[in-house]
């Protein structure tokens, strides 16, 4: 018996916790909470401000003609409302976040402290460059780290997220083809069938045609299918490939793939969403990669979903560097840092500007803080521990769940639903995991695996926490294999029970409507 379970039981063993209803709607310390409109009324307010005197309105014809209808709350009501809502959110500070292909790991508080320093948090992108030399130096130093870690000669810092970084890389490829006089003929981009959905979407947005590559039985690119796509090579623009891929596997033929694409006259874009698995261990530039975005908000702090915005710098090979977007930071001979913002001089071949300014300063500060606090050896250990943890999860669960592919994985463990009994679906396992206090792993992705369950524990989880998660999932998996019908009703303990998801998607309730008091009174 553990310390927190010692003592006399407070309820008979026959009482089902899930069957207990409360008058308040609360469950223990988890408080029930209604909508703001149901708590307050438009007639009341927690703030009393005097009407300004001697001020003439300048709104003209856009003056509000009716009340806003917003509910007024006192300060205690407002504070309690948002505290109670926060307690219904799952967060990395609460427990393991097992979403695969997302790298939802702990964000060190040191990084947040640095990002809030006035010299970084309070500056403005339109300040004179002489007044923000420290910020520009930080961007330049971060760029040096990224170039060193990837073995690439240039990095565009302005992309704001992963998909934005993809767009940057593919626009650079398009501009390079135009410069070669082949912009109108090389339109075909090869994309593996297991790719992130943003890959083909980005290629199409850049005016390319997507040609899908099959996966082999090992979950990697089918080399025979790839070669068949290259029989005619005069229209090949390049390939978009994730490595490690979305099946959680390293593409063992990646160097051969790069050589084949280059021989065909195309460029190699690598999706860097899973860089956390190889940072400090593998340099993409050594593998023949021409462009790769890096999710700073995943690999180097502040996992996405943590409030945003993100940052997706894109490293470029020597062949693509001249076509990088503006602005970018350079250092003059006298040590002055400045932004190259016009497509002239050093940027005469640039494909142009992607965003108004030069990146997301808060993410730059967090990422560099993360790098400096870990050091080169620490970043290498990040990748090693991430892969170790994923393989531990796979080893713990493979006797009750079905690994999608044989052998070791990289940073995430992928399972199929082959172990479940008839009538039990993958979604049932996900909902049951909510009752165990965990956010479900990534479900039904990648699409190449039936009933896929993709688990990425990252390097920040201890063995004890991994065991706790695996114990819960193992129990659910056994119930699924036995055809336990109670799984169909999960979750039972969450604030919101299982939804009719099809109906919710087709007929979402997006607006609160006040109840008809006259009708209620009549009834």
pLDDT digits over 415-451, tens only?
A: 999 999 999 999 999 999 999 999 999 999 998 999 9
Task: Report the pLDDT averaged over residues 131-155.
Answer: 97
Looking at the DSSP bridge assignments, the partners of residue 292 are 270, 315
Best CA proximity match to 388, nearest among 443, 460, 449: 460
Given its phi and psi angles, is residue 169 left (phi above 0), alpha (psi -120 to 50 degrees) or beta? alpha
pLDDT score, position 302: 78
pLDDT value at 318 more than 80: yes
As a whole number of angstroms, the distance between CA 198 and CA 164 comes to 10
Task: Report the pLDDT averaged over residues 236-250.
Answer: 96
As a whole number of angstroms, the distance between CA 88 and CA 25 comes to 14
pLDDT value at 5 more than 80: no
pLDDT digits over 210-224, tens only?
A: 999 999 999 999 999
pLDDT score, position 7: 62
Tell me the pLDDT band of 398, cut-offs 50, 70 and 90. very high
- Quote the pTM value: 0.90
Percent of the chain at pLDDT > 90 equals: 72
Q: Is residue 459 within 8 Å of 105, Cβ to Cβ?
A: yes
Q: Is residue 208 within 8 Å of 177, Cβ to Cβ?
A: no
Mean pLDDT check: name the lowest of 229-243, 371-385, 499-513. Answer: 499-513
pLDDT score, position 6: 65
Sign of the C-alpha dihedral, residues 348, 354, 356, 359? negative
Question: Helix or strand or coil: residue 252?
Answer: coil
Q: Can you point out the beta strands (E) in 248-302?
A: 267-271, 291-293
pLDDT score, position 521: 58
User: What domains sit in the chain, N to C, each tagged with a CATH number?
Assistant: 110-370 (3.40.640.10), 379-506 (3.90.1150.10)
pLDDT score, position 270: 97
Q: Is residue 81 within 8 Å of 39, Cβ to Cβ?
A: yes
Q: Is residue 448 within 8 Å of 194, Cβ to Cβ?
A: yes
pLDDT value at 57 more than 80: yes
Task: Report the pLDDT averaged over residues 236-261.
Answer: 96
Task: Report the pLDDT averaged over residues 399-404.
Answer: 97
Best CA proximity match to 300, nearest among 159, 137, 140, 146: 146
Tell me the pLDDT band of 69, cut-offs 50, 70 and 90. confident
What b-and-e string marks burial along 459-497, b requiring 16 or more CB atoms within 10 Å of the CB? bbbeeeebebbbebbeebbebbeeebeebeebbbeebee
Best CA proximity match to 294, nearest among 307, 309, 284, 286: 284
Best CA proximity match to 269, nearest among 244, 291, 295: 291
Tell me the helices (H) and strands (E) count for the chain, helix number first: 15, 13
pLDDT score, position 42: 83
pLDDT score, position 221: 96
As a whole number of angstroms, the distance between CA 514 and CA 518 comes to 12
Best CA proximity match to 351, nearest among 316, 306, 387: 316
As a whole number of angstroms, the distance between CA 224 and CA 202 comes to 25
Question: 410: exposed, middle or buried (C-beta count within 10 Å: 0-12, 13-18, 19+)?
Answer: buried
Sign of the C-alpha dihedral, residues 60, 65, 71, 72? positive
Best CA proximity match to 454, nearest among 244, 241, 313: 244
């Amino acid at each position: 018996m553990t310390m927190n379970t010692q003592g006399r039981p407070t309820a008979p063993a026959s009482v089902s916790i899930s069957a207990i209803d409360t008058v308040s709607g609360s469950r223990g310390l988890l408080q029930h909470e209604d909508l703001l409109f149901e708590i307050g009324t438009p007639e009341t307010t927690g703030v009393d401000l005097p009407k300004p005197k001697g001020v003439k309105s300048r709104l003209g014809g856009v003056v509000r003609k009716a009340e806003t209808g917003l509910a007024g709350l006192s300060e205690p009501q407002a504070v309690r409302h948002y505290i109670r809502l926060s307690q219904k959110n799952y967060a990395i500070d609460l427990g393991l976040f097992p979403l695969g292909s997302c790298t939802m790991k702990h964000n060190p508080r040191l990084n947040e402290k640095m990002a809030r320093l006035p010299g970084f948090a309070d500056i403005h992108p339109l300040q004179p460059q002489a007044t923000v030399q420290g910020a520009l130096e930080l961007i330049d130093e971060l760029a040096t780290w990224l170039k060193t870690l990837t073995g690439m000669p240039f990095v565009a810092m302005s992309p704001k997220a992963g998909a934005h970084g993809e767009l940057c890389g593919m626009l650079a490829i398009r501009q390079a083809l135009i410069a070669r006089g082949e912009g109108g003929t090389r339109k075909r981009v090869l994309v593996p069938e297991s790719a992130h959905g943003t890959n083909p979407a980005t290629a199409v947005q850049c005016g390319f045609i997507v040609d899908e590559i099959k996966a082999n039985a090992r979950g990697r690119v089918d080399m025979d299918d790839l070669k068949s796509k290259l029989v005619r090579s005069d229209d090949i623009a390049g390939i978009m490939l994730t490595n490690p891929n979305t099946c959680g596997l390293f593409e063992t033929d990646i160097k051969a793939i790069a050589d084949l694409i280059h021989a065909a006259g195309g460029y190699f874009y690598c999706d860097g969403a899973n860089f956390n698995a190889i940072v400090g261990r593998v340099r993409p530039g050594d593998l023949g990669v021409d462009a790769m975005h890096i999710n700073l908000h995943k690999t180097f702090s502040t996992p996405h979903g943590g409030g945003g915005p993100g940052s997706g710098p894109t490293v470029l090979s020597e062949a693509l560097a001249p076509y990088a977007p503006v602005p970018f930071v350079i250092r003059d001979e006298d040590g002055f840092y400045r932004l190259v913002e016009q497509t002239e001089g050093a940027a005469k071949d640039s494909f142009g500007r992607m965003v108004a300014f030069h990146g997301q300063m808060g993410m730059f500060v967090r990422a560099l803080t993360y790098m400096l606090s870990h050091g080169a050896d620490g970043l290498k250990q990040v990748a090693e521990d991430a892969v170790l943890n994923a393989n531990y999860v796979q080893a713990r669960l493979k006797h009750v769940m079905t690994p999608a592919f044989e052998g070791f994985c990289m940073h995430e463990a992928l399972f199929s639903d082959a172990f479940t009994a008839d009538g039990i679906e993958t979604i049932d396992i996900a909902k049951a995991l909510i009752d165990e206090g965990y956010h479900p792993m990534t479900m039904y992705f990648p699409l190449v695996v039936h009933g896929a369950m993709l688990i990425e524990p990252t390097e920040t989880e201890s063995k004890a926490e991994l065991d706790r998660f695996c114990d819960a999932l193992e129990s659910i998996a056994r119930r699924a294999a036995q055809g336990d019908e109670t799984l169909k009703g999960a979750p039972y303990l969450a604030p919101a029970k299982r939804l009719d998801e099809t109906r919710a998607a087709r007929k979402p309730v997006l607006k609160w409507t006040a109840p008809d008091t006259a009708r209620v009174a009549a009834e």
